[in-house]
Amino acid sequence: MQEKSFAVIGGDGRQQAAAAALRTKGYQVYDAEKISLADYILLPMPLSAERAELTRLLKAAKKGAIAFAGRVSEEAAGVAQEANVELIDYLKREELAVSNAIPTCEGAIEILLRERSVTLWHSKILITGFGRIAKLLAHKLLALGAYVTVAARKPGDRALAEAMGYRAVDVTELAGECVKADVVINTVPTRMITREMIEEMSKTAFLLDLASAPGGIDLAAAGTAEVRAVWALSLPTRSAPVTAGQFVAQTVLQIIEERGNI
């Protein structure tokens, strides 16, 4: 058995799965009531908890405890600093960001299959951005027979997209591309799909926003134009909470190992 212990805070599926993974590795895992006994604290993601509650939790932590969380807000980071608890944002780790793209893409495909009455095969799908999620999702959609177009700002991203077998356009061409698309998937957390673009789209088109807040699709405009749209936040937790929790546990243990704390 490991000598070190964790306090896992939060009861969603991802946190429960992370706790189970840590127990499997031989760690003692406590709940919030025994946070004072834990060497490490695993907080929820995103970490933007109510200030008083987070302060209470971290003030109860034992001296030298290290806390981990994902997508840490500035306020939460300030609370941890005031409580003299080191707080590490595990979502800044590349391996977790890449791993999380897997359930995100599977969840996105599940939404497309559920919300539309036609196949992905031969559907014209436009993806904005070409980051981790966009790359993996384009790969999976192409394998399912979709016609995939990538809209990216960087020439290098467009060149890579074309080399991988996709059609690629500059984001300045989005208006013309939206008109032709059966599905538009946004992965960029800034306004990409505007009211003007949506008003020109077919009423049978479908919009899927995978970006974190503030999102990249004008959902209000989609509602007015009667174009179906879904903003799918936190897909890893919603589509595969057990896998998402295991990814978190693996990443946290890797961080601890690199620090020489295991």
C-alpha distances out from residue 2 to 5, 48, 82, 163, Å? 8, 30, 30, 47
Q: If you average pLDDT over residues 179-208, what whole number do you get?
A: 97
Range with lowest mean pLDDT among 50-54, 62-66, 75-79, 113-117:
50-54
Do residues 17 and 242 lie in contact, with contact meaning Cβ atoms separated by under 8 Å? yes
Summary mean pLDDT of the chain:
94
The pLDDT of residue 261 is above 80? no
Q: Which residue has the tokens 């302060």?
A: 55
pLDDT tens-place string over residues 77-101: 888 888 899 999 999 999 999 999 9
Q: Regarding predicted confidence, which is higher, 52 or 28?
A: 28
Range with lowest mean pLDDT among 23-32, 56-65, 122-131:
56-65
The pLDDT of residue 243 is above 80? yes
Kindly indicate the confidence band of residue 3, based on its pLDDT and cuts at 50, 70 and 90.
confident
H helices of the chain, in order, are 13-24, 51-59, 74-82, 94-115, 132-143, 155-163, 174-180, 195-199, 219-225, 235-239, 241-258
84 CB contacts (<8 Å, ≥6 apart)? 63
Residue 111 falls within a domain, yes or no?
Answer: no
Tell me which DSSP letter residue 217 carries.
B
Residue 98 falls within a domain, yes or no?
Answer: no
Q: Report pLDDT for 150.
A: 98
Q: If you average pLDDT over residues 192-215, what whole number do you get?
A: 96
For residues 73 and 50, membership in a common domain is answered with: yes
Range with lowest mean pLDDT among 91-100, 133-142, 234-243, 253-262:
253-262
For residues 178 and 248, membership in a common domain is answered with: no
First to last CA, the chain: 12
* CB environment 234-246: b (16+ within 10 A), e (fewer): bbbbbbbbebbbb
For residues 128 and 46, membership in a common domain is answered with: no
* CB environment 87-121: b (16+ within 10 A), e (fewer): bbbbbebeebbebbbbbbbbbbbebbeeebeeebe
Question: Domain of 245?
Answer: 5-93+240-258
Q: If you average pLDDT over residues 235-242, what whole number do you get?
A: 93
The pLDDT of residue 51 is above 60? no
The rounded percent of the chain whose pLDDT value lies above 70 is: 97
The pLDDT of residue 104 is above 60? yes
Residue 107 falls within a domain, yes or no?
Answer: no
Let me know if 63 is exposed, middle or buried by CB neighbors in 10 A (0-12, 13-18, 19+): exposed
Residue 103 falls within a domain, yes or no?
Answer: no
- Give the CATH number, domain containing residue 207: 3.40.50.720
For residues 226 and 248, membership in a common domain is answered with: no
For residues 180 and 251, membership in a common domain is answered with: no
The pLDDT of residue 52 is above 70? no
Residue 167 falls within a domain, yes or no?
Answer: yes
Q: Report pLDDT for 1.
A: 45
Distance between CA atoms of residues 42 and 87, nearest Å: 10
Q: If you average pLDDT over residues 19-31, what whole number do you get?
A: 96
Residue 180 falls within a domain, yes or no?
Answer: yes
Q: Helix (H, G, I), strand (E, B), or coil: what is residue 259? A: coil
Distance between CA atoms of residues 262 and 26, nearest Å: 12
Q: How many domains does the chain have?
A: 2
Q: If you average pLDDT over residues 138-150, what whole number do you get?
A: 98
Residue 30 falls within a domain, yes or no?
Answer: yes
For residues 248 and 182, membership in a common domain is answered with: no
Kindly indicate the confidence band of residue 260, based on its pLDDT and cuts at 50, 70 and 90.
confident
